[in-house]
Structure 1
Amino acid sequence: MLIKEIKQALIGKTISYFDGWNGSCDYFKIGYLKKDGTSVRVFPEKGKGWGVFIPIRIIPTLIEKGRYKESNEVERCSYEKTWTLCQ
């Protein structure tokens, strides 16, 4: 997907994010985004906060289904990351 298409699909939606490895979570209405390597980084507004990284490869599924769950393992410890989009 092109960044322009991603902006049209994400700006104005609310994102909920949870990282089970370190317990970080975030919930806000997306007002600004920028490309950051292989991810898109979304923010509530330009220059505010750290934002949430969304890997570009998961964005089509996230837009289509409204949710994406990724399972990982580090030294035999399993954890999940979850992204959810709301209207």
Structure 2
Amino acid sequence: MSYEEIKQALKRLDIFLSDIARALNVSRSHVYQIAKGNSKSKRVAEAICKCLNKPLHEVFGETYLAENKIHRHNRSKQIAHALQTGDPVPVSSFA
């Protein structure tokens, strides 16, 4: 979902991002950045999803899927190996 879609869906439920921030004891700015996709926090993302009664992947796509962490870890290792050995950096399977 886009930021505007999240905001509008919450508004229909009479929930503001600032309400979520207050409940989680984090700044409004932090919650807004998560909703906009500019920053990551699984805790905040899950709170937004709970308010919307939607699963994480439906609201935030693949952002918080475990496979992404595994891919990043493996990709970092590929890049490091290539740079250390002077080999070309292999093309990412996500490209």
TM-score > 0.5, shorter chain as reference: no
Of structures 1 and 2, the larger Rg is shown by: 2
Q: Give TM-score scaled by structure 2 length.
A: 0.26
Greater RCO structure (CA 8 Å; 6+ sep): 1
